């Protein structure tokens, strides 16, 4: 599949630490090769000539599809026709982009129904249209439980003059995703549980901000909130800075849903109300990235307010060379399942995305050792590293193959078609869930499934998904590595190297 040779060396590009709460460009950074990939219309005939409208777009929002070659879901205005739409586009073959929603969507989020297919899994689209929160169908979802095909939708939250919805978030990697939305009118964030309660019957719950609806920059309020991200039990909300400079005028606060006060406000300032992104690094390291100034994006640990800032991309002046991009407008950017950080380059001609690999970030961790008389607490750094020094457990460290685990795989597949036993984790669990499994015996457990979206299509796989090509590729890059095709983005275990089940070693 196109592009993997370009990014395979991405792990060699190691971020350099800045001092706490500061953003600096390391010496030599702009001269280094960071394995940046550029996607623009008909770029050297390597990608689709129908990727973006010929006359350009005004970007509103975009997200990544879970798998397959529809790797862009874009809400935008076509500058040639003036029309608004949400369309999906392929960056890796010459397929026409396809309109999913014929309306202006102020915010969108992909909601995939299956993690285990190699091509296009059925995917719904959450969207804010006319101040209404809707779930739209796609061509692949027509015959699923909700009966939503292309152009069809159900309303989660009807339009009302009582609320102004500016941003929605659906974190697909959570075991039980919730829908979050920012109500800018009341300085609040709400949560819905459509999986358990149904799309048209789920009720909203206030989970951040104050019930009084006031915009106050303190621990118990939100101050003109704009965007929201969620990750592993916490939500991250962008809000207007209080007296910040005109460029980096937004801040981000971390909030545990339903708490009466925030956890903390991050020290960094950012450009663009949607100019930040949370990312679960290999399930172990939670990071937050943000647009800074006119030309850079930085990353830091999401567990502390004053983490060390690591440059992710740019920082080499405003422009559209390989190592440049421009921050402007709302600042939206995302994560591609195959390529890394997906950065919209504002004001480029032709329009383009630039892809930068995931940098290395350090987070503090605390370990406690207990003796009969004392308890000693020490803090040590936890760092994601390149493949050559990784200590992550993998199915095999001596050969390119996976351990025989048919008993566990069969049990997991009985819960979720295509699921398998992740026997290298502690505890051992089924992929896509928290249910325990074992390669040696069947683990007795009970499970109840309800919800708005099935996990498979009408013809689900009945055996664990075969990813031999991806596994072989990863093992060729690093002995014992395999393709974690269920992760976001898909990477080779123990590395940051992108992979896919339909690629060749």
d(CA 399, CA 241): 53
Predicted local distance difference test score (pLDDT) of residue 176: 81
Kind and range of the H or E run holding 470:
helix 468-477
Predicted local distance difference test score (pLDDT) of residue 104: 97
- Could you tell me the CA-to-CA distances from 89 to 41, 72, 112 in Å, in that order? 11, 5, 16
SS3 157: strand
Predicted local distance difference test score (pLDDT) of residue 341: 86
For 198-242, how does the pLDDT look when each residue is reduced to its tens digit (9 = 90+)? 999 999 999 999 999 999 999 999 999 999 999 988 999 999 998
33 Cα distance to chain centroid: 25
Burial 41-71 (b: 16+ CB within 10 A, else e): bebeeebbebbbbeebbebbbbbbbbbbbbb
C-alpha closest to that of 384 among 297, 477, 493: 493
- Could you tell me the CA-to-CA distances from 338 to 6, 355, 470 in Å, in that order? 12, 10, 12
For 111-130, how does the pLDDT look when each residue is reduced to its tens digit (9 = 90+)? 876 543 334 567 899 999 99
- How many other CB atoms are there within 10 angstroms of residue 260's CB atom? 10
C-alpha closest to that of 167 among 101, 235, 92: 235
For 290-328, how does the pLDDT look when each residue is reduced to its tens digit (9 = 90+)? 999 999 999 999 999 998 899 999 999 999 998 999 999
For the residues of 40-75, what is the DSSP string, one character each?
ETTGGGSS-TTSS-TT-EEEEEEE--SSSS--EEEE
* Share above pLDDT 70 across residues of the chain, in percent, rounded to a whole number: 69
Q: Among the residues of 181-301, which ranges form H helices?
A: 194-197
380 Cα distance to chain centroid: 27
Predicted local distance difference test score (pLDDT) of residue 391: 33
Using an 8 Å Cβ cutoff, are 394 and 403 in contact? no
For 164-176, how does the pLDDT look when each residue is reduced to its tens digit (9 = 90+)? 999 999 987 777 8
d(CA 155, CA 137): 12
d(CA 118, CA 485): 9
d(CA 362, CA 383): 5
d(CA 488, CA 499): 11
Phi, psi of 407 (to 5 degrees): -65, -50
Predicted local distance difference test score (pLDDT) of residue 379: 39
Using an 8 Å Cβ cutoff, are 125 and 140 in contact? no
- Could you tell me the CA-to-CA distances from 129 to 62, 110, 150, 154 in Å, in that order? 15, 15, 16, 12
Cis, peptide link before residue 427, omega less than 30° from 0:
yes
- Could you tell me the CA-to-CA distances from 487 to 18, 26, 31, 417 in Å, in that order? 29, 30, 32, 17
Residue 412, C-beta contacts closer than 8 angstroms, at least 6 positions apart: 419, 420, 421, 430, 431, 433, 435, 437, 464
Class of the CATH-defined domain 4-363? mainly beta
In the predicted model, residues of the chain with pLDDT beneath 70 are 1-21, 39-50, 65-71, 91-95, 113-121, 281-284, 337-339, 364-403, 414-419, 424-427, 431-434, 443-466, 478-480, 486-489, 494-496, 502-505
Could you tell me where in the chain the CATH 2.120.10.30 domains are found?
A: 4-363
β-sheet bridge partners, residue 228: 237
Residue 456, C-beta contacts closer than 8 angstroms, at least 6 positions apart: 113, 114, 116, 416, 417, 418
Polymer length of the chain: 505
Burial label for 164, CB within 10 Å (0-12, 13-18, 19+), is middle
Rounded to two decimals, the pTM is: 0.71
Q: What is the CA radius of gyration of the chain?
A: 22
Q: How many CA atoms lie within 13 A of 127 on its CB side?
A: 30
């Amino acid at each position: 599949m196109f592009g993997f040779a370009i990014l395979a060396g991405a792990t060699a590009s190691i971020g350099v630490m800045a001092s706490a709460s500061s953003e600096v460009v390391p010496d030599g950074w702009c001269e280094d090769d960071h394995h940046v990939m550029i996607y623009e219309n008909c770029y050297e005939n390597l990608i689709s000539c129908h990727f973006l409208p010929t006359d350009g777009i005004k970007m509103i929002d975009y997200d990544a599809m879970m798998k397959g070659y529809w790797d862009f879901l874009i809400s935008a205005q076509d500058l040639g026709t003036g029309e608004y739409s949400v369309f999906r586009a392929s960056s890796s073959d010459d397929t026409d982009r396809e309109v999913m929603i014929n309306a202006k969507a102020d915010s969108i989020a992909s909601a995939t129904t299956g993690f285990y297919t190699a091509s296009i899994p059925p995917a719904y689209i959450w969207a804010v249209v006319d101040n209404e929160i809707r779930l739209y169908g796609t061509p692949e979802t027509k015959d699923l439980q909700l009966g939503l095909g292309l152009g069809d939708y159900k309303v989660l939250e009807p339009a009302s003059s009582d609320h102004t919805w500016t941003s929605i978030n659906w974190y697909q990697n959570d075991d039980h995703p919730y829908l979050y939305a920012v109500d800018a009118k009341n300085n609040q964030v709400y949560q819905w549980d459509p999986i358990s309660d149904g799309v048209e019957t789920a009720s909203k719950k206030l989970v951040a901000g104050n019930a009084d609806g006031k915009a106050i920059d303190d621990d118990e309020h939100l101050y003109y909130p704009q965007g929201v991200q969620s990750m592993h039990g916490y939500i991250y909300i962008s809000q207007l800075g209080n007296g910040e400079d005109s460029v980096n005028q937004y801040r981000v606060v971390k909030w545990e849903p339903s708490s009466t006060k925030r956890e903390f406000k991050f020290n960094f300032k950012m450009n663009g109300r949607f100019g930040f992104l949370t990312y679960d690094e290999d399930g172990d390291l939670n990071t937050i990235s943000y647009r800074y100034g006119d030309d850079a994006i930085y990353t830091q640990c999401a567990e502390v307010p004053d983490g060390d800032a690591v440059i992710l991309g740019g920082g080499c002046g405003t422009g559209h060379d390989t190592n440049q991009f421009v921050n402007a407008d709302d600042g939206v950017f995302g994560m591609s399942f195959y390529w890394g950080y997906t950065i919209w380059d504002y004001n480029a001609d032709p329009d383009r995305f630039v892809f930068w690999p995931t940098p290395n970030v350090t987070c503090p961790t605390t370990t406690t050792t207990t003796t009969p008389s004392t308890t000693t607490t020490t803090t040590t750094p936890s760092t994601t590293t390149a493949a050559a020094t990784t200590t992550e457990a993998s199915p095999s460290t001596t050969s390119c193959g996976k351990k025989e685990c048919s008993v566990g795989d069969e049990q997991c597949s009985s819960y979720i078609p295509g699921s398998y036993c992740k026997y290298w984790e502690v505890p051992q669990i089924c992929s896509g869930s928290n249910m325990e499994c074992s390669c040696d015996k069947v683990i007795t457990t009970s499970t109840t499934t309800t919800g708005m979206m099935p996990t498979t299509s009408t013809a689900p796989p009945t055996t664990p998904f075969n990813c031999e090509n991806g596994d072989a590729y990863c093992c060729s890059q690093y002995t014992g590595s395999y393709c974690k095709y269920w992760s976001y983005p898909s990477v080779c275990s123990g590395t940051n190297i992108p992979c896919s089940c339909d690629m060749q070693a």
